[in-house]
A and B are shown apart, each in its own frame.
Chain A
Amino acid sequence: DTAVSQTPKYLVTQMGNDKSIKCEQNLGHDTMYWYKQDSKKFLKIMFSYNNKELIINETVPNRFSPKSPDKAHLNLHINSLELGDSAVYFCASSQGGRRWESTDTQYFGPGTRLTVL
């Protein structure tokens, strides 16, 4: 009964390849996110989707294309992988909502460690 799950957990691939990471949440949340954690553990948001609609895109190269087939899933497709894409990618979800006083707490998946050789 994992709340936010990601597959695969590890992904090793050659430069130039195209790969996808999948994320699913069973919390009934409306909003999902992708974060990138670099080798120094610095975490930065990449994308946010609310009800299948892209709402935040943080100047990520267009080689990264998120896709949300339904509000419980947010997949990340990466074209033409580069060495600098090596990182841990975290998916997260939250209830959403734009009220100033709402916590909108984000719950994270276990991460996908991507290594580009």
Chain B
Amino acid sequence: GEDVEQSLFLSVREGDSSVINCTYTDSSSTYLYWYKQEPGAGLQLLTYIFSNMDMKQDQRLTVLLNKKDKHLSLRIADTQTGDSAIYFCAEKVMEAAGNKLTFGGGTRVLVKP
């Protein structure tokens, strides 16, 4: 089955690190993604990781994947006020007809000065 879950809310102080967690159920997922949604805006792709990788780093972002536990996390180093947004993890699910993304419910990150 397809089910992606995230915690609802995270509050962090400016300059600290943020860690957003996600669990998924489809073991056949090949790619997992992190998207950012700012208020009133669309979804911005932040990063993604292939399922045969454990870690991917991209500037302030570090993605960790534990495939055995089906656990994905996004770490944001030196969190800034501009990082306040909703963060969605998503898994790519391949069906007979085509690919689709299954999203988690989103984690609202609030960065306090």
Give Cα A47 to B88, complex, Å.
20
A111 contacts which of B42, B50, B92, B101 (Cβ < 8 Å)? B42
The size bracket of the interface on A is 20 to 34
Taking a contact as CB atoms under 8 Å apart, the answer to whether B103 and A43 are in contact is yes
Q: A100-B94, A111-B42 are in contact. Are A41 and B99 (CB under 8 A)?
A: no
List A contacts of B95 (CB < 8 A).
56
A43 contacts which of B31, B45, B88 (Cβ < 8 Å)? B88
Cβ of A57 to closest chain B Cβ, rounded Å: 9
Taking a contact as CB atoms under 8 Å apart, the answer to whether B105 and A41 are in contact is yes
Taking a contact as CB atoms under 8 Å apart, the answer to whether A40 and B105 are in contact is yes
* Residue B86 lies at the interface, judged by CB distance under 8 Å to chain A: yes
List A contacts of B94 (CB < 8 A).
98, 100
Taking a contact as CB atoms under 8 Å apart, the answer to whether B100 and A100 are in contact is no
Nearest A residue to B95 via CB reads A56
B98 contacts which of A41, A55, A108, A110 (Cβ < 8 Å)? A55
* Residue A115 lies at the interface, judged by CB distance under 8 Å to chain B: no
Taking a contact as CB atoms under 8 Å apart, the answer to whether B30 and A101 are in contact is yes
Taking a contact as CB atoms under 8 Å apart, the answer to whether A45 and B101 are in contact is yes
Taking a contact as CB atoms under 8 Å apart, the answer to whether A56 and B97 are in contact is yes
Within 8 A of B (CB), among A55-110: 55-56, 58, 90, 92, 94, 96-98, 100-101, 103-110
Within 8 A of A (CB), among B56-113: 86, 88, 92, 94-95, 97-103, 105-106
The 7 closest A-B pairs by CB, nearest first: A55-B98, A108-B43, A110-B42, A43-B103, A55-B97, A108-B42, A41-B106
Q: A41-B106, A90-B43, A104-B99 are in contact. List 10 more A-B contacts (CB 8 A).
A: A42-B103, A43-B88, A45-B100, A56-B100, A90-B42, A104-B92, A105-B45, A106-B45, A109-B42, A110-B42
